[in-house]
Structure 1
């Protein structure tokens, strides 16, 4: 390697190293893609589960709020009408 041109055995050595490095990188990328795909799937499942939990909590809160609100009482409206009619002075008497 002291000269500008490589000797035949040096060129062979360099080519082998480059090929090994390229194959190693290909294998590493294959493994990375597989592992990253699994990680992404797990994350998506976790996100979906979290969204389900949030939705369930919101539904429970809505149910609790509805349970705490007093139901509309129809007799109350009728009583108000009756009270309004009885409290007005009779004009025709």
Structure 2
């Protein structure tokens, strides 16, 4: 988990995207709509694949007015790594999350 001070050196959209990525939807009392709803991937008949997750996360970001220009997702064991470039950002960022 990244601390708030880790966001201060990043662009606003990068901080917004990573905040949504790392916050479980409905986990905040005053803002239950913040975060991506990863419960979708827990549905029994939904198979996880890196390509499907990449498409899904781009769609979820667009719903929050965050435009991803390019992205790639890789999975090693239970660690997911996403490299992405947002509109208005010159450099590629990455975010790492654990899933079970």
Q: TM-score range by the shorter chain?
A: under 0.3
Structure with bigger helix share is 1
The structure with the larger Rg is 1
Structure with bigger strand share is 2
